[in-house]
Structures are given as structure tokens and as C-alpha cells.
Amino acid sequence: MPADSPIFRFAILVHSDFVADEVRRETRALGWDIDIFVTTYDTARRDAERCVRNGYDVLICHGGFRYDVQRDHPQKTIFIERTDFDLLRALLRARTYTSEVIVTAHRDEARDFAFMEMLTRMRIHPIRYAHHHELEQQLERCYAQGLHMAVGGGGTARYMRRLGGQTILDVPQASSIQQAITRAVNLMEARQRERTYTENVLQLMRFSREGVICARLDGVIIYANDEALRLLGLEGQDDLRPLLPDFLTDDLVSRGKARVDDVLTLRRRRLLVSAFPFHLAEGPGAVIFFRDVQSIRSLSRKIDTLARRSFASRHKTSAIIGHSPGMEEVRRRIARYADMQAPVCIHGETGSGKELVAHALHAAGPRADRPFVALNCAALPESLLESELFGYEEGAFTGARRQGKSGLLELAYGGTLFLDEICSVSPAMQVRLLRVLESGELLRVGGDRLITVDMRLVSAANPRRMAARLRDGSFRPDFYYRIMGLCIDLPPLRERKEDLPLLLAPVLAARGRSPACLSPTMREALQQHDWPGNVRELRSVMDIYAQLIDGDSPDEAAFREAFHEHVRRLPPPGPVFEPAPESAPRAASAQTALPAPPDDALPLREQLRHCRAAIVRDTLRRCGGNRREAARRLGVSYASLRRFLLGQDDA
């Protein structure tokens, strides 16, 4: 065979040595090395059976016996076609000897002998036969009538030789041999593709978590996967046959109507069954899929658990650190409000731990095993905030995801929706949220159907910003009263400095440090600072310090680097580490020292610029480095504040 040909085994069965030589010559010229066997009517079926047992994939036959071989092996037999041109060529050779000739042909062959007579100007006596005994009898009659020349195959030649006559063999053309080999290759390639496809399908069904049965309607099992046998507690396919009627409904058998998602109790198992009509080569059948109801319930619980885990509460009340009176009141309110369904608003400054309280409130209530969905309203523009909260339908706007998207209000179904920085929500969005809170229904962006929502709203706001927005009318009073059903006031860190040691320890421990790395002067400095960034600022400063030091020995240089650089507070290094005299009263943490007067020798413009720079730096420190908040407190625009910091604006 050619090097690029598939490795298939072909056997060619022919009726004579002469034809075998012709076929062998042609196949070798084509580059094929195929086994060729000479056989007869009497031995052809046995020879074909032996070839199949020996592993030959295709039987290529030339001769009248080919129809017998095809009946025995219909999926493996290919004919070298006996063409009219083969007969004409043999007739022309016979005409050199006689003008009257016998031509033998199987009854299934279509031959126009009248046309051949006209072309060859010979008298043709056709013999048609279905079995070689008929051929032998008709040849004897023709011979008795004086016809001693025949055109045909090897069987005809053998019979005529016994009678004393002659035979001109019809030898196949090279093109007929080539076409037969091509058909054999195509047959094997198609069979190989079909076998691969079937193996893939069976492999898929073998690993399926569903039981799969394919059967004829008369009860014959064609296929059943291992899962089907396992679910029913059976050893083999033969045990399935008595149970098949339980799967096949009368509607499916008589009218071909599918059975979809029916619950069936069989062999003490509750099964969810679907059965569909399926046409098989052997007749009408059905394909059946079934699963154990209990496994479906387990899978449903697993999916539900995974869905909740993606929006799960990460903190409980025990995660809230501090024993100050303010924090004890926070814990008391969490415990009291947890079982209620009314909205809760958490008041607190930036960095004071409002989201931690929201997590704890959710985890302590009856919705703890449902989703906890959090969103910072200040982090998104209004258009994006709307689509995130309410979701959208397909095609609602350019770039919308196909099949649309569920909003956070939907994803929080049965659980808690936490909206941080709710003061940032625009009046238009307040109206939409108010409608959802009042009706329990929403419309997606671009949608036309109401979707039911069930969630508890927990919001968070900076009380000063909330008051300012209520005063200027940008926060609707009706929305304010709706979200302020219950209130939890979270004290700032400057009002609960007794909790500082408790808050420091876990931050240092996370970096492998202990509180011993802080000297008394460092602790005093921490106590004196008013912490405008609250717990978030404290953790950031301590995390940086823990990374700068080696071991647990106090390092004032590293502390100064972490503490002052982080909060942008740059006084001379000495005094901040000196503890205040016991007799000197400690200034209130909320007070800010006025800047030291500049040198009066400087021009007035320089003195004013120096004072302004000191005031801007102090305000920035109090705002935790938030320039926009500092500009608001100073009553100047953000652009003006930037010019002040760059020293580009004249006093």
C-alpha cells in the first residue's frame, strides 16, 4: 500500500488465475500490495468466511459468486464491476473464431445484448442465472444446440471445458479495479469515522452521571451505561429487560410522545425519568435518561452553597475588636437588630469599620445562610451604578451583555444588600431605590417586566456628609427616613483610644511581630494622634512599621518613617517621642495647634503664604490625605487647593 494510505486489510476474490494476474499487475502498478485469492462457485463462501476470520476488512470480488459473498457479508463486500466495455472487448476477441456466441450474466446484471449484437455484428445467446446450477444446465443445452463458444467468467470457463467448448474470459479494466479499491478505502474510512464517533458517544455515556438506556420497544436492550446498572442495583443488561416497561409509557409506545421529568419509584429508589422515541436500524426504540432524586437534591444544595459562598458574610460579631463603651453599644445593637427586617443605617467616619459591622449584622440574623452583597456607591458613576444595582436586559444599551445581567438587588434575594457611602447616591437613584423598598419589585434597565426582590437593606454613611446633603436638598427626606429605620453609631477611633492595644496586636501578629516592638514613647505618640483615617489608618501605619523593623525590638527611626510619612504629619522628630508632663493637661484630640508664626522679618506676602501652607497641611492631615475633603473644609475649590500645594497662587 502507499505510505500515505490508511492501514486496511483487503482481500480480492477472483474467478480465474488469468484474472488474478491482471488484477495483481494493476494493483502493484497503483502501489498497492493486496492479497488475491482464486475461488469458485463452490468454494467462494467458505473462502470469504476464512478471510473475514483472518482479519480482512473488505472483500473485493469479481465473478458471479460475488452475490453469494455479498449476502453473507453485506457490510464488507465490494464489487469489481463487470462493465459492458469488458464484455464488448471479449466479444470482439470471440468474433475472430465465430459469429455466434454464448454470453453468461447474473440475473441482477443489466445488459443490453441487442445493442452489443449491433455493434459486434454477432449473434448473441444470453444465459441469465441466479445460481451456478442454473448456469451449468443452460450451458449444456446451448452446447447441445451447437454453440461451442462462450464469453463469461471462470465458472463459465470450467463448465465449457468439461463440455469440450471454449471460453473467452471477460477481464476487468484497470479503471474498474482502481474504482473498486477506491470504494473499499472510502468504505473503511467512513466505517472508521463512524466507529470513532460511536466510541466517543459511548465514552460520554459511560462517564455520564445519568443512567442511560437505549432499547427497542419490543424489549431488546441495545445499550445501558454503568450508571444505569448502578442506580438500579443490577449486574448486567439482561437484568434490565423486565424493568423496561416501567420506563416506557403507553403514550411513548403507541404515539411516540416523549416522557419528560417524571418521578418513578423503582427498586426502592425515586428516579427522575425522561424517555424519548428513537429510531433504530432494528426498528422503533427509545432512549431513556434517569437520575436519583436524592442526588439531584444534593446537587441543588451544593449549587446553592456555591452561589452563597460567592456573596457570603466573612465576619461575625466576634470579629469586632474593642471593649470601649461605644463598641459595647455597637455589639448590643447588632444583637438586638439582627432578627429584625427593618433597614439599618450605620453611621461612622471613613475607615471606622462600617462594612465589618454590616457583615456581623447579617451573620447574626436569620438571613445568615443567604447572600451578602456589598457595593460602594461612591466608587461608580450613576449610569454604571444603575446597571449594577438593577441589572439590564439584552440590548438595553451598546455593549450590554447577551442575555442581559442580574443586578445586585436580584443577587441579594433572601439575604442582605449593603450600600456603603449611600450619601453619594443621586436624587434620581434615590427615587428608584425608594420604589424598590416600598414595593419589593424592580425593573431592569431596558426591561418591561417586574422582578420580585427580597432583601434587607443595610446602608452606611458619614453623618457629617449626610447632614450636609440633607441641608442642601440633594438627599431626599423620604428616602432618608426609609433607610433610617434603625441606626448604629460607630464611634471614631479618637473616641475609643482605650481599644488601641487590642487593635494593634492582630496587625503586628500578621507580620510576625508582637506589641513589644512598640516603646512607651511610641505608644504615647499613637495615643496623642487623633486618627482622622480611623482604624484603616491605624492598620496601615502599623503594617508599614512591622515591615520596616527586624525582630521585636522598638525602632524609633522606622516608627517615625512609617508614622509621619503615612499621615503626612511632619513635626520635628524629637518632641513627638517625649511623653507629656503629668501635670500638663492633654489637649483634646480634636483640637489642632495653630501654626508657629513665621519670621516677622519676612515680607507680609511671604508670611501669609507660610501660614496658608501650614493650615492646608494641617487640614490635609485631619482629612487623612483626602484632598477633596480638605478643599471642602477650607471652602475653596479643588483646583485652588492644588495651586496652594504647588505654591503657584499668590497670597
Report pLDDT digits (tens) over 73-113. 998 999 998 888 888 989 999 999 999 999 998 888 888 88
Mean pLDDT, residues 507-535:
87
Burial class (CB in 10 A: 0-12, 13-18, 19+), 356: buried
Contact (CB, 8 A) for 434 and 479: yes
The Cα–Cα gap between 323 and 332 comes to 12
Report pLDDT digits (tens) over 366-421. 988 888 888 888 888 877 888 888 888 765 555 555 557 778 888 888 899 999 99
- CATH 3.40.50.2300 domain locations along the chain: 10-81+175-184
CA diameter of the chain: 152
What global pTM score does this model have?
Answer: 0.45
Of 360-364, 452-456, 547-551, 563-567, least confident by mean pLDDT is 563-567
pLDDT at 380: 81
pLDDT at 447: 77
Which of 361, 356, 345, 205 has its CA nearest to residue 288? 205
Answer CATH for 208-295 from 3.40.630.30, 3.30.450.20, 3.30.70.20, 3.30.360.10? 3.30.450.20
Intra-chain end-to-end CA distance of the chain, in Å: 98
CATH superfamily of 84-171: PrpR receptor domain-like (3.40.50.10660)
Better-predicted residue by pLDDT, 407 or 301:
407
Mean pLDDT, residues 285-312:
71
- CATH 3.30.450.20 domain locations along the chain: 208-295
Helix (H), strand (E) counts: the chain: 26, 22
- CATH 1.10.8 domain locations along the chain: 494-577
The Cα–Cα gap between 63 and 41 comes to 9
Q: Is pLDDT above 60 for 592?
A: no
Q: What is the architecture, at CATH level 2, of domain 494-577?
A: Orthogonal Bundle (1.10)
pLDDT at 396: 57
Phi, psi of 38 (to 5 degrees): -95, 130
Three-state SS for 100-147 is: EEEEEEECCCCCCHHHHHHHHCCEEEEEEECCHHHHHHHHHHHHHCCC
pLDDT at 133: 87
Q: Is pLDDT above 50 for 579?
A: no
- On whether the 604-646 domain is CATH 1.10.10, my answer is yes
Residue 572: pLDDT band by 50, 70, 90 thresholds? very low
Class of domain 10-81+175-184: alpha beta
- Strand bridging mode 166-169 / 211-216: unpaired
pLDDT at 644: 75
CATH of domain 311-479: 3.40.50.300
- CATH 3.40.50.300 domain locations along the chain: 311-479
Average pLDDT value over all residues in the chain = 83
Contact (CB, 8 A) for 169 and 16: yes
- CATH 3.40.50.10660 domain locations along the chain: 84-171
Residue with cell 469586632: 320
The Cα–Cα gap between 617 and 486 comes to 38
Burial call 270-307: b when 16+ CB within 10 Å, e when fewer: ebbbbbebbeeeeeebbbbbbbbeeeeeeeeeeeeeee
Residue 614: pLDDT band by 50, 70, 90 thresholds? confident
Helix locations, 338-476, DSSP H = 354-363, 382-390, 408-411, 427-439, 463-471
- Strand bridging mode 372-376 / 100-106: unpaired
pLDDT at 371: 87
Report pLDDT digits (tens) over 21-42. 888 988 888 888 889 999 988 8
Question: What's the angle, vertex CA 220, arms to CA 218 and CA 221, rounded to 5?
Answer: 135
Better-predicted residue by pLDDT, 499 or 303:
499
pLDDT at 450: 85
